[in-house]
A and B are shown apart, each in its own frame.
Chain A
Amino acid sequence: MRWNVDVRAFRYWAERRDKSPTPKLMSLDEAVKKFLRNGAVVALGGCLYSRTPMAAVHEIIRQGFRELTIVRNLAGFETDLLLVSGCLKRLVTSWCSPGYAWGMSRILRHYVENALAEFEEWSHLGIGLRLKAAAMGVPFLPTFSMLGSSIMEKLGIAEMTCPYSGEKLALVPALYPDVAIIHASRADTYGNIQIDGYTHMDKDMAQAARHVIATVEEVVDSDEIRRSAERTVIPFFCVDAVVEQPFGAYPSECWGRYEADFSHIASYQKRVDEKGIEGAKSYVSENIMGVSSFMEFLSKVGIEQLLDRVRAFRNVVT
């Protein structure tokens, strides 16, 4: 069976988890080391350049994990970085591009067209339903999406005739990531996670995964979470690690905090335009391998640039 939808095994894992409210604050270095493995299925939260867990992506690259399957609904420039660093074997997504301004990724094209990496394509809702099925603890969810398409045919998605209505439906198999990594607005030390603005697919992803690492803009007191419980989207018992990392999505945006830094992505793209893969590798060696932490990377970016993005966010919302 191509899809691992062994709901009993995944449920067993959840049942055996330590669900006591214990403090889970740790360093990013420690969290990534503890929960990632070579060959793991890693789901990245956010969407395109919104709340990309970029600090964690840097750490994965720095620690040199291999053969990863990366799951992301709309994948962006982080895919390039993981590819040229030799971390990524298979991308499970509905769409991948550095963004509207840059069109198709030249790096991704090279890897996929030469069969150096796999591009497993689903529809956008297809990715959503895979994670939602796992989050619900069921082996599949039905939809009309993807029926009749080559996506359905290439993936070998099963269809059925509904016993109640007689309608034909595509059955989207659950996807249980080994690790989900999300970047959120805030959490307490126990891992009650709050997300401002778009939630994307982060809630389902966290609920579906075996382990969850949450990097957050700020760690707050539990009383603050309890005063605004309506904003909590992931409860502590789903979470394994909480890492405080301000600007942890940069150069992606984080709602309520800072807008994306397109000038940074553009400068990366310029390297790729000029030197292809070597250009992308030079970005990685200077900004990821050449620094000891994401904080050091942010220092290289500079406080002025970061504050400029904070102001940009305020300009958009006002």
Chain B
Amino acid sequence: MLLHERNYTRSELLTVMTARMLEDGKTIFVGVGLPMLAAALAQRLHAPSITIIFEGGVIAPEIKPGMLPLSTNEVRAARKAVMLPSIDDVFFYQQRGYIDYGILGAAQIDKYGNINTSVIGDYEKPRVRLPGSGGANDIASTCSRVIVSTFHEKRRFVERVDFITSPGYLSGGNTRREAGLIFGGPYKVVTDLAIMGFDEESKAMKVEAVYRGVRIEEVLDNMGFKPIIPDEVREVEPPTDEELKILRSIDPDRVMLR
């Protein structure tokens, strides 16, 4: 990527593209970092009526620019919230069907949208121990639509994840439903190069759009497996000046836009 020719960073690009996915009037389960920025940005643009829900037990907080929470369960995360339910209750709302979108990151993601944030290598004696599921497994299991928002890198997009922390479509086809996961599933994968979805039948990852100036080869070169490439791949407009201006005003100290 020729970033020096652009007036935005990779994290800004990823955040803007994630924000564009969010529909107005919906409830969004977000974690700290770029997902939270994406939701806050969407609220200030096309989706003023989305409701942010934090895992720590927060409904409808108002994110104050420059005073971003670093966890989903601290005082800052609860600013002007309408309710502070227990953690269990937040997940019960989701299992019940009240949460429309969840945004997840991924240390590893495979072609069926399974995500690993637990271990690289062997589970008992891992090469790299990662922080773990947190609420990610619960979001992947019971949220209506999961958006995976992650950088497009070969080490992340792997043929098969070492550990399924958060289930996508498992082995593809009908296997997610057969495992008992009767709703939800990965909806889109948003990266700093492209937007991907999943094939209706096989449930394999499929490139739906690339950002203007990105070649499809570039997308493939940065993946450890080959996604489906349909005949027509849409081109997406880069972040606008307005989107970037608002995003930067939300995180002026660049705490999360690192």
Contact = CB atoms under 8 A, between A and B. Distances in A.
Interface string B65-98: 0010011011110110000101110010001000
Interface in A144-184: 144-151, 154, 159, 167-170
A93 B137 CA distance: 13
B118 A121 contact: yes
Given A96-B131, A123-B137, A200-B56, A259 B88 contact: no
B118 A147 contact: no
A90 interface: no
B88 A132 contact: yes
A94 B129 CA distance: 13
A35 interface: no
A121 to B, nearest CB: 5
Interface stretch (B8-16, B40-48, B159-167, B194-202): B159-167
A272 to B, nearest CB: 15
Interface stretch (A61-69, A105-113, A292-300): A105-113
Contacts of B137: 94, 123-124, 126, 145-146, 149, 151
B180 interface: yes
Given A125-B91, A151-B133, A200-B86, A145 B142 contact: yes
Given A50-B73, A149-B164, A200-B87, A109 B134 contact: no
Nearest to B126: A113
Contacts of B179: 147-148, 168
A150 B163 contact: yes
B1 interface: no
A248 B88 CA distance: 25
B231 interface: no
Contact of A95 (B86, B133, B180): B133
B131 to A, nearest CB: 4
A167 B128 contact: no
A303 interface: no
Question: Which of B70, B133, B141, B179 has its CB near the most chain A CB atoms (within 10 A)?
Answer: B133
Contacts of B180: 144, 147-148, 159, 167-170
B75 A317 contact: yes
Contacts of A188: none
A199 interface: yes
B133 A122 contact: yes
Contacts of B71: 48-50, 74, 99-100
A302 interface: no
Contacts, number: 180
B61 to A, nearest CB: 11
Contact of A150 (B124, B165, B175): B165
Contacts of A74: 71, 73, 134
B206 interface: no
A121 B138 CA distance: 13
A262 B70 contact: yes
Interface string B126-149: 111111111111100110000000
Interface in B175-222: 175-176, 179-183
A73 B180 CA distance: 25
Contact of A128 (B76, B91, B123, B255): B91
Given A96-B131, A100-B33, A104-B131, A198 B138 contact: no
Contact of A260 (B56, B74, B133): B74
Contacts of B21: none
Contacts of B91: 124-125, 128, 145
Contacts of B74: 48-50, 253, 259-260
B105 to A, nearest CB: 11
Given A94-B134, A95-B133, A198 B78 contact: yes
A197 B142 CA distance: 26
Nearest to A315: B67
Nearest to A204: B88
Contacts of B130: 104
A113 B128 contact: yes
Given A47-B87, A128-B91, A167-B180, A109 B138 contact: no
A201 B86 contact: yes
Nearest to B179: A148
Interface string A44-61: 000111100000000000
B160 to A, nearest CB: 11
B53 interface: no
A187 interface: no
Contacts of B28: none
Nearest to A48: B71
Contacts of B88: 125, 128-129, 132, 201, 204
21 contacts: A47-B73, A48-B71, A50-B56, A74-B134, A94-B134, A94-B137, A95-B132, A100-B32, A112-B126, A123-B136, A129-B88, A144-B142, A144-B180, A144-B182, A147-B181, A149-B164, A198-B84, A200-B73, A253-B75, A259-B74, A262-B70
Given A109-B128, A197-B75, 5 more contacts: A48-B56, A124-B138, A144-B141, A149-B164, A316-B67
Interface of A: 47-50, 73-74, 93-97, 99-101, 103-104, 108-109, 112-115, 119, 121-126, 128-129, 132, 143-151, 154, 159, 167-170, 197-201, 203-204, 253, 255, 259-260, 262, 313, 316-317
